[in-house]
Structure 1
Amino acid sequence: MKQLQEVLLGKEGNYIFPFFWQHGEEENVLREYMNAIHQSNIRAICVESRPHPDFCGEQWWHDMDIILKEAEKLKMKVWILDDSHFPTGFANGAIKNAPDELTHQYLVYRTLEMCGPAKHLELDVKVYMKPEPLPPWMPPAPPAERVFHDDELMKVLACPVLEGECLGEPVDLTNQIADEMLEFDLEDGYWRIFVIYLTRNAKGRNDYINFMDKESCRLLIDAVYEPHYAHYGEYFGTVIAGFFSDEPPVGNIEGYGLAGPIGSPKQILPWSKEAATCFREEFGSDDWGKYLPYLWANAADRKLQAKERVSYMNMVTKLVSECFSEQNGIWCKEHGVEYIGHMLEDCDMNSDLGASMGHFFRGLSGQHMAGIDNIGGQVTINGQDCMRHQEPACQDEAGFYQYLLGKLGASHASIDPKKQGRCMCENFGAYGWQSGTKEQKYMTDHFMVRGVNRFVPHAFSAAPFPDPDCPPHFYAHGENPLYRAFGELMAYTNRVCHLIDGGKACPDVALLYNGESKWAGDASSNIRAARYLTQSQIDFHVIPSDVFTENSAYPVAFDGQALKINDVSYGGLLISGCEFVEEHVAGFIIDALAKEFPVIFLDQKPGGIIAASDEEKEKFATRLEDCEVVDGKEAGKKIRQILTPQVTSEPACNRLVSYHYHTDSDIYLFLNEGAKNVYRGTVTIQGKGCPVRYYPWENRIEKAAYEETANGIKVMLAINPLELCVIVLEDEMEMQNVADKPEFAREEQEITEFSVRRIDAKTYLELKKKDLQMDVAEQGEKVTAPFSGMQKKYPDYSGYYIYETEAVLEAGKSYQLSIEDVSESVEVFLNGQSLGMKLQRPFVFILPGQQVSEENQIRIEVATMLERKLYSQGYDVKSMSPYRPLSPTGIVGKVTLQKVK
């Protein structure tokens, strides 16, 4: 396999571009940091103002000159985060002085409730085209920075309130307004009168561009993209790779509060000058205005409610796609660079408005990579083990982050030709100083085994140490003891990403994105399906309903045997429980069932089609009468009954996650996400060739034990806790030079005493730069087994512990050195020669026979996290993550030697 040979020869590409935060640092600091990033085995950066005091001003261009020249010298690429501060959309303050028509506009309402019958009532509509006044005992709200005077009445609608607080058919009273007074009658019953109007004075992200307005979105291009091109056009497409949008929000709320799904009472809704025309197109008539109350309150007519809400959300998300994402992507393409980034995905918020963009796939449509992010304790080492209940929730049980987040990004990368199979994950941010490379390696593996192949580590901060802004910071002016270990992790990441780049994923089934169903009515989250598919080693992609529309941007083919999207094949379609499906999805379901293609309904069958006629609904329901409903927990079992999956494990293990990828060979990734037990068993995989096990950390290969069966290739595996196992199917002729797995004698020789010294991180790096040995430091102190770490003696210390001992061995024989546990990273030296570094169990090192003499010096260097040093000084070490106990430091447990047979 070409890519395997490339990584074995150290010729892998770069797949990493960390945030490099700018605060206006001195030139020497910028150059130091560019070299520190380069020395971390990273060949690109993403420059972010965090915040720079003069973004797009003279100091910014001065600093960018330095960074770009240094990048050119080091042969690095530069991405640019596209705004003066996070999140994207502030447009470097351009909206402050922009014309009124380019600012945010909102659809809002007030209600008046009355009993009928009543005649000749009069209502001053102007009074109701204002927010409800605060009670007199409340302090007045601070005045707005900018006041607008173009409020516009949309509708006055009287809705009967029926049983269950549902609204009946609205009565349009708008035409009965004269001289701003509404004169009206009410029939018998209880009524809710909606005064619905447009305003720019409601509370949202009013200092941000209107993401539904093309001219408003252009402000970002004019304020950020164009000035960078004017200064650095010669670098575009060479040194400058492109622009990065970070969590652009539709912005109909302030900050990051929950906007709630469409249908939430009192929600202010985004609007623009194009909205009314687009709303009509989506709804199919001018009646969209009559049913506006259904955007906030439940209706007795569930079909009309679904049609109104989905039409509105389609309008918003398609405008966001066209006006913002696509416009940025087109500009970048025309200027020889790419456009990337991600939205706020958290806990199914990706199909809501507010701080997100309403639709995961549409919001990122213009970008040239798929994108997601993982911050602040969302994915954790014990993510699968911490499920307290059978049904997954979000943050507290890691349901969304553990099972769905990575697959959303990888799915978009695979099905959208523009993405070219590339999915970026912003990773590690705000996990705090309690997060080290051990956890960071797991987080990287977690996403790679789900199909992510680009990473934006968060972050390198050049602010004075310790910068309280969302640590960890990987270099920290040389103060971070794990800086070198982080560099080894980046090299490892590039190797694995190189293997899984440039081909195509081979999932078993497709899972329908539930955005439209969620807008329309009752709908289950896809978290449940994602959880049980993952735990059954059933690989899947999440696909949007847009793939089934006419003139879809996604290349689709269906022959009754397989559904192909962008040449990725799916053997079935799963649909989580929902009340309604979109009409093009319903059309595919009917066609698929007629051709006996598997369509599996989880927990509930859809009862209707959004915006369909009664006749169409009845026909659809009749066709679904004989369809089985499968409990979501049984999804994996059901799929195995109807198709041959890519992976079957024996014994079954719900902690074993798998991923099949095809380039010029078949590649399988397996991650044992259980933090406690070794997985020992077999995996039966599909493909041709002889299985080779690649060890990406050590960058070596060995033969794998296997047998050919009628069901596929059965490979015998032992996978350590949190270990990523890579199996490559190679041509038999290329297997001749692959080594067998070594065997070790059972006898152990325990090391019971070390001399230990401490070296702070900056001193250690200086010694490394000068190529000096660590033994130039002061004499160490003796420690004896059992080893329980050094934290009791030095509870406030962060840095390096240097363990040294003498060992009498049989000259010329190879040995295996095993360390039970280490906190945090460990590098072993034999007679002054490094045997490599490890970040996670098993901490096992081979002492090669050619380096072993009768008397040997063994040196074990352990780097700690910064948590103890900073915690003792009163700094916040957890950032946005949950609080955790402090970790031990140094060697914990037994240290043994075994002779290789």
Structure 2
Amino acid sequence: MKSILENKTENYLLPFFWQHDGHDAEIPARVQKIYESGCRAFCVESRPYEHFCEDAWWKTMDIILAEAEKRGMRVWILDDKHFPTGYANGILEHEDLNLRRKFLRESHVDVMGPMAEASVLVPMHTPEEKLVSAVLFRRTGKDEELTGEPIELDVQSEDKFVYFSVPEGLYRVFFVFETFSGEENKKYYIDMLSKESVHKLIEAVYEPHYDHYAKYFGNTLAGFFSDEPGFDAPHFGMTGYDTGIYNRSVGQPGVMLPWRDAAAVHMAKDGIDEPTLYLPILWYAHDELTAEIRLAYMGAVTLLWKENFSYPLGDWCRAHGVQYIGHLIEGMNAHARLGCSAGHYFRGLDGQDMSGIDIVLHQVMPGMADYKTAALVSGGMVDGEFFHYVLGQLAASHARQNPNMNGRAMCEVFGAYGWAEGANVMKWLMDFLLVRGVNHFVPHAFDDFFPDRDCPPHFGADGNDPQFAGFTQLMHYVNRAAHYLYGTEMEASGAILYHAEAEWMDKSSAMLTQKPAKACYDAQISYDIVPLDYLETAEKNNGRFGRGYKYLVVPACRKLPERFAKICEALKNAGVPVFFVDYAPDCVNISENEIVPLQKLAAHIKESGLAHEYNAKEHLLRIAKFTRGEATSFFVFNEAPNAVQETLSLPVSGKYIATDLLNGVYTRGETADGTVELALEAEQSVILIFGGATEDEWAGFPEKSEGLHMAEIETLWDIDLRETGKETEFKPFRKNSKLFNITGKNGETEFSGEMRYKTKLNINDTAHVELEFENVGVTAQLFVNGKDMGQRICRPYRWDITEAVKAGENDVEVFVCNTLAQRMQDFFSTYMTLPASGITGKVRLFVQ
């Protein structure tokens, strides 16, 4: 708190700074704008830069690094010519074909026996494709289910026919080919299963940057950022039905599956003899072997990713004095699948120095946790349960469980919401992340020219963004809040098992992690998400495990690996209860009282004395407990779309400081029994700090003003307008006007800029005076008698104006800024609600 009050915080912000060919002249001013926003680092992305890693790029980077060094800023580099990471600047177009991605595809035909000396045509395939196996499986007659052991067929790739005898019954002949034919636009992407292939990314991008800028590594140059690498398993042919990129994984006919011979070696280590003969089970269920084969395969490819992609990149960076960060595509449960992600969130990022997620494209919308909502993503809809109850916790959990990450949890945020994303929405999103334990941020994005139709908003917008002052205030707030919270111990009363293995083994019976997560979080029960890998190695004793988790929640599933049974036994022996939601996997023997219905889970945890009861009435009130030294803090954020009044029961008592780090308002309070009354508007948050301050320090903060009398003010306003980036002077708009929506049907519908309001208020009681506007669209800066009272970027739009008012007539001037959406009318903004522009609703005075 002392460093915050003295404006000596560290930096936790590294926004994207997009580079396009031919804009070098603009770079110094753009870097200065990033600095002015409060960000002390940025991540350079070529989006796209035609001559990436060529002479023109080094000239651009020379300017960028020099400008950053001049200002004491740090620079990160997105590690490829364009996202998603994996193109390796096109190096594989000129390399050994074997370094490119490999997939498995299958072709089959059904045959009825008995039939002696039968034959079928070997399916058509290219000379590049290799026949991995040809087998015969019996069919059960239940859908396309297989049974029994595979019968290996004698066939070579060059054969045109395969000859065999068919036993009695219906059989399916499978041909499994290794192929390079993935998505056409990614045919030269590296293979994350091959260390040799991944090294080509290092060779093409990492090493050239080190060769040019070794002197900056570890100081001005902070590290590299991988953006959305994935297996990118495509759907092929007419087999099955494509369920979309988020859903492609094992168990889906028609999906090509990532492959290297090393995967078969891994599968053999997991007890699968001759694994290539069992590959058809990756697409079609077997009455006995489905779970075993699919677990072995998914375990193999996700561990190969971790060993050959994530750790080699991270190790290279650490060996060169910099850090490695980034994120996968997590959305819509893709994180545990193969379509556009890495099959396992934790393994996919384990070699990094920060965990990572992103919130873009309207994935999280304020107040909509209970709903599926429209968004500009595949399918046009996002699942609120995943994004509100799992996404942030994945990042925070991984950061605290992985020693390399040391608590650093990163989120790329704001991108592609459109110009309609005002500072109030951005502030809501930041609090959404902070309260979940995320503490490093990549705002998306600064651009090197305007206008750019590519995924706005672009901060500053070459002087055209009315929201830039609000964005700047927000960035300073985030640095203060992250500085306070980073390094604390964030409470997680228990842990919820990550659902990846359960879904791989039997998707039909596997409950997603977000189901118990929502049940807990809506009851203000804190949790981390833990994978089996962590559970296996975590210490277990004295009723706790890992980071001090007091219980484990297992989402409903019928299948989990056998190793879970040993983990479960060890937890119970250590006195840690395990709660199985709805039903348990068949690998464990449990008593009936260990099964907990989902709808009773939260109550059961509290009744067992394993989580604190805050007695909050609003389920969208989020409460996070942080400890550091003698201080215990509670970050309380109202995610609901309505104001709340709560009498919270905290697990501590005594003197506290209530901090509004956004507006720099601090008050002291005291509670004898832990009861604290809070009134929070929608979008509002507060940090309550108990302990860590001396008596004199605590007494130095003012008491919260109580018993104020509210009066609604009826006054008329003079309103002037100035279009940001187009006009230098305000133009008169209305005189002696009531308040109304400036961009409403009867106003200036396409106006984006500043709205100046002037009036005079008669105030008699001046001992303590506060002024509040009910609605503002979007940011407001208040002057009273010429004194700057500060800017508000979200509710409540309320100022303590005591030091500026005088008895009698007072001059009031308000500068309000809306967003660029009215002028730009971009496609992304069609998914956002545009609030009324200017001041609307009631004006209130609060006096002693």
What range is the shorter-chain TM-score in? over 0.9
1:361 maps to 2:346:
yes
1:678 maps to 2:670:
no
Equivalent residues of 1:409, 1:423 under 8 A apart: yes
CA–CA separation in structure 2 for the residues paired with 1:885 and 1:499: 33
1:95 maps to 2:92:
yes
CA–CA separation in structure 1 for the residues paired with 2:79 and 2:219: 18
1:589 maps to 2:568:
yes
CA–CA separation in structure 2 for the residues paired with 1:172 and 1:394: 44
2:130 partner letter: E
Is the alpha carbon distance of 1:58 and 1:202 closer, same or farther for their aligned partners in structure 2, counting shifts above 3 Å? closer
Correspondent of 1:155 among 103, 113, 133: 133
1:404 maps to 2:357:
no
CA–CA separation in structure 1 for the residues paired with 2:72 and 2:362: 34
Worse-superposed segment, 807-816 or 310-319 = 807-816
Is the alpha carbon distance of 1:463 and 1:804 closer, same or farther for their aligned partners in structure 2, counting shifts above 3 Å? same
1:72 maps to 2:26:
no
**What's the CA shift for 1:877?**
4.6
CA–CA separation in structure 1 for the residues paired with 2:27 and 2:308: 36
1:296 maps to 2:283:
yes
1:847 partner letter: I
TM-score between both structures, scaled by the size of structure 2: 0.94
CA–CA separation in structure 2 for the residues paired with 1:885 and 1:652: 27
Per the alignment, residue 248 of structure 2 pairs with: 260
The 3-state SS of whatever aligns with 1:384 is: coil
The runs of 5 or more residues in structure 2 that have no matched partner are: 237-243, 374-378
Equivalent residues of 1:157, 1:170 under 8 A apart: no
The 3-state SS of whatever aligns with 2:776 is: strand
The 3-state SS of whatever aligns with 1:849 is: coil
Per the alignment, residue 613 of structure 1 pairs with: none
1:414 partner letter: R
Is the alpha carbon distance of 1:44 and 1:373 closer, same or farther for their aligned partners in structure 2, counting shifts above 3 Å? same
1:755 maps to 2:718:
yes
1:458 maps to 2:444:
yes
Correspondent of 1:110 among 87, 107, 110: 107
CA–CA separation in structure 1 for the residues paired with 2:414 and 2:712: 39
Is the alpha carbon distance of 1:14 and 1:660 closer, same or farther for their aligned partners in structure 2, counting shifts above 3 Å? same
**What are the Cα deviations for residues 136-187 of structure 1, in whole angstroms up to 9, with x where unaligned?**
xxxxxxxxxxxx7343222111111103121011332334769834221111
**What's the CA shift for 1:812?**
5.9
2:533 partner letter: D
CA–CA separation in structure 1 for the residues paired with 2:200 and 2:608: 53
**What's the CA shift for 1:50?**
0.5
CA–CA separation in structure 2 for the residues paired with 1:851 and 1:63: 52
**What are the Cα deviations for residues 803-848 of structure 1, in whole angstroms up to 9, with x where unaligned?**
0112333496442111010101111012222111112111101113
Per the alignment, residue 338 of structure 1 pairs with: 323
Equivalent residues of 2:182, 2:234 under 8 A apart: no
2:250 partner letter: I
Per the alignment, residue 603 of structure 1 pairs with: 582
1:85 maps to 2:63:
no
Q: Percent identity?
A: 31
CA–CA separation in structure 1 for the residues paired with 2:740 and 2:845: 16
Correspondent of 2:403 among 417, 430, 443: 417
CA–CA separation in structure 2 for the residues paired with 1:228 and 1:595: 50
CA–CA separation in structure 1 for the residues paired with 2:357 and 2:761: 49
**What are the Cα deviations for residues 849-884 of structure 1, in whole angstroms up to 9, with x where unaligned?**
35546443211000011111122xxx4252xxx634
CA–CA separation in structure 1 for the residues paired with 2:224 and 2:210: 11
Per the alignment, residue 242 of structure 1 pairs with: 223
1:841 partner letter: R
1:736 maps to 2:699:
yes
Per the alignment, residue 876 of structure 1 pairs with: 827
CA–CA separation in structure 2 for the residues paired with 1:694 and 1:179: 74
Worse-superposed segment, 587-596 or 181-190 = 587-596
Per the alignment, residue 617 of structure 1 pairs with: none
Per the alignment, residue 811 of structure 2 pairs with: 857
Equivalent residues of 1:129, 1:197 under 8 A apart: no
**What are the Cα deviations for residues 680-722 of structure 1, in whole angstroms up to 9, with x where unaligned?**
2223224x753221111122321234223xxxx3322222222
Equivalent residues of 1:679, 1:721 under 8 A apart: no
**What are the Cα deviations for residues 624-665 of structure 1, in whole angstroms up to 9, with x where unaligned?**
1434321222221111011242x4223432111111122222
CA–CA separation in structure 2 for the residues paired with 1:400 and 1:374: 12
Per the alignment, residue 782 of structure 1 pairs with: 735
**What's the CA shift for 1:227?**
0.5
**What's the CA shift for 1:285?**
4.2
Is the alpha carbon distance of 1:560 and 1:167 closer, same or farther for their aligned partners in structure 2, counting shifts above 3 Å? farther
Per the alignment, residue 626 of structure 1 pairs with: 592
CA–CA separation in structure 1 for the residues paired with 2:736 and 2:447: 37
**What's the CA shift for 1:220?**
0.6
CA–CA separation in structure 2 for the residues paired with 1:290 and 1:26: 56
Per the alignment, residue 376 of structure 2 pairs with: none
Correspondent of 1:54 among 51, 55, 58: 51
CA–CA separation in structure 2 for the residues paired with 1:121 and 1:863: 78
1:636 maps to 2:602:
yes
Equivalent residues of 1:651, 1:681 under 8 A apart: yes
Worse-superposed segment, 475-484 or 585-594 = 585-594
Per the alignment, residue 726 of structure 1 pairs with: 687
Is the alpha carbon distance of 1:691 and 1:178 closer, same or farther for their aligned partners in structure 2, counting shifts above 3 Å? closer
CA–CA separation in structure 2 for the residues paired with 1:512 and 1:5: 39
Equivalent residues of 1:537, 1:657 under 8 A apart: yes
Correspondent of 1:559 among 526, 529, 541: 541
Equivalent residues of 2:770, 2:800 under 8 A apart: yes
Equivalent residues of 1:109, 1:129 under 8 A apart: no
Per the alignment, residue 167 of structure 1 pairs with: 146
Per the alignment, residue 35 of structure 2 pairs with: 38
Per the alignment, residue 663 of structure 1 pairs with: 628
CA–CA separation in structure 2 for the residues paired with 1:747 and 1:272: 71
**What are the Cα deviations for residues 719-760 of structure 1, in whole angstroms up to 9, with x where unaligned?**
222211211112462422222101354252514111111112
CA–CA separation in structure 2 for the residues paired with 1:22 and 1:607: 54
Equivalent residues of 1:811, 1:849 under 8 A apart: no
The 3-state SS of whatever aligns with 1:782 is: strand
1:876 partner letter: F
**What's the CA shift for 1:386?**
3.7
The 3-state SS of whatever aligns with 1:54 is: coil
Is the alpha carbon distance of 1:122 and 1:790 closer, same or farther for their aligned partners in structure 2, counting shifts above 3 Å? closer
**What's the CA shift for 1:242?**
0.2
Worse-superposed segment, 811-820 or 467-476 = 811-820
Is the alpha carbon distance of 1:850 and 1:268 closer, same or farther for their aligned partners in structure 2, counting shifts above 3 Å? closer
CA–CA separation in structure 2 for the residues paired with 1:673 and 1:19: 27
Q: CA RMSD in A?
A: 2.2
Equivalent residues of 1:16, 1:42 under 8 A apart: yes
Per the alignment, residue 476 of structure 2 pairs with: 491
Per the alignment, residue 543 of structure 1 pairs with: 530
Equivalent residues of 2:739, 2:839 under 8 A apart: no
Worse-superposed segment, 45-54 or 715-724 = 715-724
Equivalent residues of 1:177, 1:183 under 8 A apart: no
Equivalent residues of 2:743, 2:751 under 8 A apart: no
- Number of residue pairs the alignment of both structures matches: 827
**What's the CA shift for 1:579?**
1.1
CA–CA separation in structure 1 for the residues paired with 2:698 and 2:229: 50
Is the alpha carbon distance of 1:753 and 1:117 closer, same or farther for their aligned partners in structure 2, counting shifts above 3 Å? same
The 3-state SS of whatever aligns with 1:95 is: helix
1:717 partner letter: L
**What are the Cα deviations for residues 424-468 of structure 1, in whole angstroms up to 9, with x where unaligned?**
000011101221111111111111111000110111112231x11
The runs of 5 or more residues in structure 1 that have no matched partner are: 131-147, 609-619, 767-775
The 3-state SS of whatever aligns with 1:856 is: strand
2:551 partner letter: G
Is the alpha carbon distance of 1:852 and 1:84 closer, same or farther for their aligned partners in structure 2, counting shifts above 3 Å? farther
Equivalent residues of 1:371, 1:423 under 8 A apart: yes
Equivalent residues of 2:250, 2:282 under 8 A apart: yes
Equivalent residues of 1:40, 1:490 under 8 A apart: yes
CA–CA separation in structure 2 for the residues paired with 1:271 and 1:371: 26
Per the alignment, residue 795 of structure 2 pairs with: 841
Equivalent residues of 1:176, 1:184 under 8 A apart: no
**What's the CA shift for 1:313?**
0.6
